[in-house]
Structure 1
Amino acid sequence: MSEIILIVEDDMALWYVYKYALRHLKSELVFARNGQVALEVLDKRTPMLVILDMRLPIVSGLELLMHFQKVLRLASTPIIVASSMQEYRSLAPNGAFLYKPLKPEDITSLVDHVLAPSG
């Protein structure tokens, strides 16, 4: 199975922005339109990165963050929080936060930084 980046975003118009911004990566982009679909993907696959909108239908971004903490296999998965609400910035693991409206260059820069080998 190829490495995936899971993008949990209910605004499907933003999917094109993500596709454009991340076109340089070899990883498969997997999109989930709500938190429930994200949980279904996470039952089957372990992403190398998750970009997570916080305001989602069915299962919220906050509930997904808690799910990542509870599931050992997912606990070390890098997560980037994306939101138009600054108050969600404090929930972003390691400060990885994208402010909406999204700019492709901001997405590219932050994703490249988060995925860069450490050391």
Structure 2
Amino acid sequence: MSKHILIVDDSPSIRQMVEMTLKSASYQVTSANDGQAALELCQRSQYDFVLTDQNMPRMDGLTLIKSLRGMSSYRSTPIIVLTTEASDSMKAQGRAAGATGWMVKPFDPQKLLAVAAKVLS
């Protein structure tokens, strides 16, 4: 059974590019357009990996990560932040919130697939 990945980004074009990249490697993909929608999905379903943007309306990525880490079913789920934010302080906030890792946009599709394979192994 293929791994199920949740993509969270308010940009339709980024969601589409990430989704196409992951589907090309036979992952099952669901997407949400902000952290609030993603949290609602996670309360109903279990995902093997969450890939989230940081800057989004309604709920940002760090708030989403903290919320997910508070749920027993998501305590050890890999969560990677894919964002334009590259500062060390933002990355530190991500680690403190419980992020597994950090990738900066624009992303390299091969690197994204390598990260997905690593965190899902």
Q: How many Å apart are 1:46 and its aligned residue?
A: 1.1
Change (3 A) 1:64 1:26: same
TM-score of the superposed pair, with normalisation by structure 1? 0.85
Matched residues in 2 for 1:20 and 1:38: separation?
A: 19
Is 2:37 the counterpart of 1:37? yes
| CA RMSD in angstroms, aligned pairs only | 1.9
Q: How many Å apart are 1:47 and its aligned residue?
A: 0.5
Q: How many Å apart are 1:38 and its aligned residue?
A: 0.5
The percent of aligned pairs where both chains have the same amino acid is 26
Is 2:114 the counterpart of 1:109? yes
TM-score of the superposed pair, with normalisation by structure 2? 0.84
CA contact (8 A) 2:9 2:53 kept: yes
Q: Find the counterpart in structure 2 of residue 8 from structure 1.
A: 8
User: Which residue identity lines up with residue 97 of structure 1 in the other structure?
Assistant: W
